[in-house]
Structure formats: structure tokens, C-alpha cells
Amino acid sequence: MFNSQINLPSSAELPDSDDIPMDNEDQNILPNLLASILRLIWQDRQDWFFGIDMGIYHTTGVSPRVPIVPDGFLSLGVERRKNNRSRPSYVVWEENDIVPILVLEFVSQTYGGEYEQKMDSYARLGVLYYLIYNPNHWQRDRHTPFEVYRLEENGYQLQIGEPLWLPEIDLGIGRRSYEMGAEKREILSWYDQKGKAYLTPEEIAQKTQQEVTELQNLLQKYRQQFGDLK
């Protein structure tokens, strides 16, 4: 455990990347979809931050200069833009010691200790919710594809239900199908308290265009039957 009495480095002194390339397309696409949905439903809020493949520097590990880098994380009670600028990394001691309330890890072909070492690290850090998404290798790892753990007094406890309601965040999270043009895939999505999924910006635009097209078709049929409106 790091001695917190030693002077801590500033964000300017810390690397902003672990230089480890992603080996799974979902690791890039799915967190970005979650972030884009949040920007819509929380567009009037300035007290949250969603990081993607960003180092979290903390004092609960071997050194404050060694970050943990989840595929995605959500923090509440912090500035959307730190000092009105983009963050190069998330430095806990520069965020009033606010740790992420939710972290996401995507299990890929190269196993990364998501169910052991990383779970222990996030527990020490004090992350309330830990989501492991494992759609391709869950049988190998003897787990289910979607697991959310909540930090209790005796460690992380697996939660039941999907979508799972997260009262401290006032959102649910779960899997659903996603179709955009010819693209079809499973994604992670935020849900409201009634279990209805929030749409991505692309889905909203597509739905709006479909509604406009349907209205134009109805208007065309009306004109063919009754003539132009006067």
C-alpha cells in the first residue's frame, strides 16, 4: 500500500496512456455508445464524467504512478471538464478523492484477470459497481456473459437481474440488440426505472428519419386521393 504522506505527482507529471492497444472491437465501441447516451440524457448536468480506456491514478496500489486502466468508468460529483479542459487521465487526489462509482471491463481473448486481480484492485479503490462483459469467452472463464458486482462489507457480491437498476446512479444497465443500417450487434445500454432502454443518438436520428418518411408517404397518399391542400 502506498504511503499517502509522500508528495503526490500532478496530472501533468503522469502518463496519459498505458500504450496497450485494445484487442477487442467491443472495448472501443461499447463504452463510446454508453458515453454518447449519457451525453443525451444528462446533457444539462455538469457533475459527471465518463472515461474510456483512461488511466485512473490512485493511492491504493503499489505506487501512485501506476494507474489502473478500465475499458470504461463513470464518476459522479466531478466536473464534466476538469478546469474547462479535457482530462489526460483521472487522478483521484485531484478529484476531491472521488473514485469512479462504476467501472467496466471487457474480457477478450487475452485474459486479463478481470475476475481476480482487477476485482481486488477495484475493491481496494472503493468502486461501488464493477461490470464484467464477457460475451465470447464466458464458458472458458466459467462465468456468465454479463455480470455486475456491488461492493459490500465483505467484498464484491454478484447482483441479480438484467437490466440491473443502480439506485446510486439512477439508471439501469444491461444488454440489448442494436441495429444501425446493415449493422447488427449486441451492446450495453442504459435503462430507465421502468426497464426501457435509452436510445443512442444514431438510433434517435434513424427513428426521426423514419417518422418523417412515414409522414411524407401519408401526405403523398392524401394528395393522390384528395388533391393538394388549399
**Taking the domains of the chain in order of start, what are their residue ranges?**
11-198, 200-230
Tell me which of 28-32, 119-123, 182-186 is least confident.
182-186
Distances (CA, A) of 209 to 199, 203, 216: 14, 10, 10
pTM of the model: 0.85
Q: What is the mean pLDDT of residues 72-88?
A: 95
Per-residue model confidence (pLDDT) at position 155: 96
Domain boundaries 11-198, CATH class: alpha beta
Contact 98, 78 (CB under 8 A): yes
Q: Is the pLDDT of residue 91 over 60?
A: yes
Tell me which of 7-16, 95-104, 144-153, 199-208 is least confident.
7-16
Per-residue model confidence (pLDDT) at position 15: 64
Tell me the pLDDT band of 111, cut-offs 50, 70 and 90.
Answer: confident
CA torsion sign, 65 to 68 to 71 to 74?
Answer: negative
- Contact partners, residue 136, CB within 8 Å, separation at least 6: 107, 108, 109
Q: What is the mean pLDDT of residues 108-136?
A: 95
Q: Is the pLDDT of residue 141 over 60?
A: yes
CA distance 144 to 213: 41
CA distance 19 to 17: 5
- Contact partners, residue 161, CB within 8 Å, separation at least 6: none
CA distance 198 to 179: 14
Per-residue model confidence (pLDDT) at position 109: 87
Query: What average pLDDT does the chain have?
Result: 89
